[in-house]
Structure formats: C-alpha cells, structure tokens
Amino acid sequence: MNILNKKNTENSNEFILTRYLYIYDEVKLALLFALLEKQKMANFWAYEIYFSGFKKEFIEWLWTIYYDFFATLNPSFENFFLTKEKEKDFSDVTIKTIVDNLLIRPFSTDVFMLSKLFEEKELYYKSKYLLHLDLTTKIGIQEQIKEWSKTKDFDSIAQFILGNEYHPFTEMEIYEQFLQHFSYKKEIYLKQFNKMINHHDETAIKKILLSRIIALFTLKCGKNVYVSVKKEEVEEFQTIDPFLTNTKLYRFLNNVCKYSINEHGHLGLFTLSRDSLVINEIKSIKNIYNDEWLYYASFTPLWLERIEKYSGVQDHNNKTIIFPSDDEYEDFHNRYNYEPDEQSMDLKERVVPEIKKEDKYIHFCKKYSQNNITNK
C-alpha cells in the first residue's frame, strides 16, 4: 500500500481514516469486492478514496485490481485505462468512467490466487520442484517454457515468474519465449508489454508479466465496448460539507456513510492496518474511532488541509491534534467535529465493525471462480 508521505503525514502503522471516517485500506478492499460483485456502490468507495486526497494511490490501486482480476480476460482495457490516466483533462468524471467500465467486464481470480500461493508456499516450491529443473541457462528455460505451455502448468509458471531471480532472461525475453508457443502477433504484444513496464513501478512488472502469460491460455475475452459518463453523474459523490448544508454535525456521518465496509464479509482474509494497533479489552477499534479519530484522519490529505487551515499540528505521542489557541480549536470543531462518539451502534457497525479473521483464500476464490482456468 502506498501512503502519502509528505508534510509530515507519514503514519508508521498506516491506519488512516478517510473523509467520512472509514478506514482507508478497508475502503480499498470494499471497492474491490464491489467490483467483483458488480455493484454500483463501487463508485461510492472509489470516490471515498479519491476525494479524501489519495488520487495517485487510487490509480495505483485500480491498476493492482486490474492485473489481479481483470487483465487476463480484458487485455484491451489496459490501453483504454492508460489513455484515460494520461488525459490532460483527467477529472472527477474519469474516475467513474474507469470504474463503470470495469463493472461491465468479466474477471477471474487466477492471477490473484497464484500470487497468494506463491506468497504462502514459496519455499516449498523452490526446494521441492523448481530447484531440480535447469533454470539457469537460456536453453534450459526455453525447454521448460515449452513444456509448461504444453501442459498448462500454471503453478510452475507462477513460481518461476514471481520467485526466480537468477535466470539469464529479462521479463521481456520471458514473455517473448511464451509468445512463440501461441499464434499471436508477437511484435504488437511485445510493444504493448514494453509500454506498460515502462509506465509502472518495477515492483509491478512480475505481476503484469504473469497476467499477460495467463491471458495467452484464455480462450474467451470480455467486452470491447466502453460506456461514457456525464458530469452530472458524479455530483452525488462530491464531498459534502455539513457547514454549507446546515446539517447538524452529529447527524452528518449517518447521512453520508451509506454502505457497510464489510458488507461481503471478506475483510478478515486480509492483513489490515487495524491489526497493527494495540487493541485490548479496554481499548477497542470503536474506542479509537471515538477518541482518536481526528489524529488518524489527519493522515488523509483532505483532513490535513482542514487542520492546517486552523494551524493545527499532530501530536504523535498523545495521538491528538493540538491547536494554537482555544479560538482555533473552537472554530475547527464547530465546523468539522463529526462527533463519532455520539454515533449509533448501527453506524459504527457500518464503518468500524469488528472483523473476524479468516486464513483461507480458497472460499473467496471459489466464490468468484466462474471464469478461472487454473482450477484454484
């Protein structure tokens, strides 16, 4: 996860509250689940990230979702996404355009699950299988790629791409070797791959390569049509200021927090920023939400801007915000104190519910496996 690191906003545990006081990394996952469920609430979560000020991080997260779930069935969407991202008139409308076009497309969990298997069983595969193969010479790798392509040995392909650091091929050369065993226009595919690895961070290149190779085995592809979005469709997602709408502050969160963060019940599968907090029977996640919300919201660009307008500064030792005088304190709180401690249990269950931890991705992937080719 990429967290804003400027103006002294670095948060060592990455626990951050968004514009409407959801937990930032959980909003990112809620967006993923809504996309997989084909629910329009995906736009709500997308704009919760975007309008909190995490614009660059939001685009990076969409690329992660694309390569983990959508790229193998929608290779042409990659260029559409890139074009939208680079538009000079990139605006609020662009966000909904990208999200809405993902909502109409099929996905698979192949790349996501293969990546998780690699993370969990890396040493097993390296010691029990790949170390017995000739993967140190170009000829040896060429023979293995030929065999893997023939047998559709996706486990070995994933382990080789994600884990082997010592072979003599570049990612571009590996992709070229796989392309030789498929009837595709190699020059076009290589040119597009080169464009994407130059666009993305180095840490993403292996995932991009894996998704492109899995796509070679995929017979069906998603839609090649694109929906457009009008400016007025974005208005409902704009940030609401209760001061300008004459909304009682204690009623505000109940009006704007429309959806439950864990509606699909899968947050427990993931390592969450809340896990890094010291929580016990006395200090629960809801206590932190009640008493320390402004400190953790201050790591969001939108809230930091509001706080700095009234000359507030972070007190990391006491996890609070200090204002230079009672006047600034009162002015800020009269406008922005959403009073989390006064919210109903129903609202808190929507925003900061207790999360039951799970340790099996298999149920998640089976639920969304209708388009898989790896049988994971």
Lowest mean pLDDT among 18-32, 126-140, 155-169, 176-190: 126-140
What's the pLDDT band for 205 if we cut at 50, 70, 90? very high
**DSSP-assigned letters across all residues of 98-110:** HHHHHHTS---SH
Lowest mean pLDDT among 172-176, 276-280, 301-305: 276-280
What's the pLDDT band for 124 if we cut at 50, 70, 90? low
Q: Tokens 């791409």, residue?
A: 161
What is the per-residue pLDDT for 8?
A: 40
- Please compute the mean of the pLDDT values over residues 61-72 and round it to a whole number: 97
What six digits make up the tokens of 57?
């991080």
What is the per-residue pLDDT for 252?
A: 95
What is the per-residue pLDDT for 280?
A: 61
Higher pLDDT, 131 or 163: 163
How far is Cα 270 from Cα 173, in angstroms, rounded to an integer?
34
Kindly report the length of the chain.
376
What six digits make up the tokens of 191?
């040119």
Lowest mean pLDDT among 116-125, 138-147, 182-191: 116-125
Distances (CA, A) of 248 to 20, 52, 156, 341: 15, 21, 58, 15
What is the per-residue pLDDT for 247?
A: 86
The chain-wide mean pLDDT, for the chain, equals 88
- Please compute the mean of the pLDDT values over residues 86-95 and round it to a whole number: 88
Count other C-beta atoms under 10 Å from residue 80's C-beta: 15
Lowest mean pLDDT among 24-28, 179-183, 237-241, 321-325: 179-183
DSSP state of 239: P
**Residues 273 and 38 sit within 8 Å (Cβ to Cβ):** no
Lowest mean pLDDT among 52-66, 150-164, 296-310: 150-164
Lowest mean pLDDT among 6-10, 190-194, 225-229, 235-239: 6-10
Closest Cα partner for 304 from 44, 25, 11? 11
What's the pLDDT band for 223 if we cut at 50, 70, 90? confident
What is the per-residue pLDDT for 357?
A: 83
